[in-house]
Structure 1
Amino acid sequence: MDAVDRKILAILQEEGRLTLTELAERVQLSASPCHRRLRALERDGTISAYRAVVDPAALGLNFEALVFVTMRQEDRETLLSFEDAVTRIPNVLLAQRLFGDPDYLLRIVTADLAAYQRLEDDVLSALPGVQRLNSTLVMKQVVNDRPLPTTAS
């Protein structure tokens, strides 16, 4: 990956709806070489998807919690069952397995506190292998969905 590829990635992370012509102009290439580079970045998985970033409040999702999950047991079958179940909960925006304790971090959005309480009581606490859930409520987004840096530092 060279500097032009990194510039393409930086621009697309900020402005994903640019036309190929606009992108080519911004990276100072003609359309054909820019298109070849873009397709190569998609083919090798560097660019994994294109999507719209939606304001959660516009969908009535005004409440966010970070949930730390401690597992009762950590055998392979239990962990895979837990992870599979978590992927099917639409309110879970992020699920990360951690080293140490706790075992997982979940980022969850709901309409309000009451909706979150129902989700925790009825769904999260019933996930395979869960011993304890520890929730922290998000007060304010300071940095959210920032583009990845395209230079190593």
Structure 2
Amino acid sequence: MDAIDRKILAILQREGRISATDLAERVGLSLSPCHRRLRALEEAGVITDYRASVEPSKLGLGFAAIVYATLREGSRENVLAFEKALLGVPEIVQAQRLFGEPDYMLHVVSKDLATFQRLYDDSLLALPHVMRLNSTLVMKSVIPSRPFPI
């Protein structure tokens, strides 16, 4: 990856809808080499997807919580079963496995506190191999999402 690839990535992180023509012009390439670089970045797994950033409150998802999960036993089978089950809970918008305790940090969105409580009781507590859940409520997003420093 060279400086031009990094410039392409920096621009795409900020302006995902930029046309290939405008992108090529901004990085100083003609259209064809710019397309080749984009394709190579996608095939190498550097660019994993393209999506719109959405304001959750505009979708009725005005409540957010961070839920910390500790598994009873960290065996390979338990970890795989837990991680597979996470995929079935759409309100979990990000999940990270951690070193030490707790084992996971789950970013959860919902309509409101009552909806979160039902989700917690019905779905999160039912996740396989959970020993303990601790949650903290999000007061506000200070940096909801930003580009990686390239």
Same fold (TM over 0.5): yes
Paired with 2:88 and 2:95, the residues of 1 have a C-alpha distance of: 11
Paired with 1:54 and 1:82, the residues of 2 have a C-alpha distance of: 27
Q: Which runs of 4+ in 1 moved over 3 A?
A: none
Matches within 5 A, 1:84-103: 84-103=84-103
CA RMSD of aligned residues (A): 0.7
Listed one character per residue, the Cα deviations across residues 76-135 of structure 1 (whole Å, up to 9, x for unaligned) are 211111110011110001111111010110000000000000000111011111111100
Matches within 5 A, 1:46-125: 46-125=46-125
Secondary structure in 2 matching 1:90? coil
Give the unaligned 5+ runs of structure 1.
none
Paired with 1:38 and 1:122, the residues of 2 have a C-alpha distance of: 43
Give the unaligned 5+ runs of structure 2.
none
How far off is 1:32 after superposition?
Answer: 1.1
How far off is 1:71 after superposition?
Answer: 1.1
Secondary structure in 2 matching 1:127? coil
Tell me if 1:8 matches 2:8: yes
TM-score (norm 1): 0.96
How far off is 1:17 after superposition?
Answer: 0.5
Partner of 1:147: 147
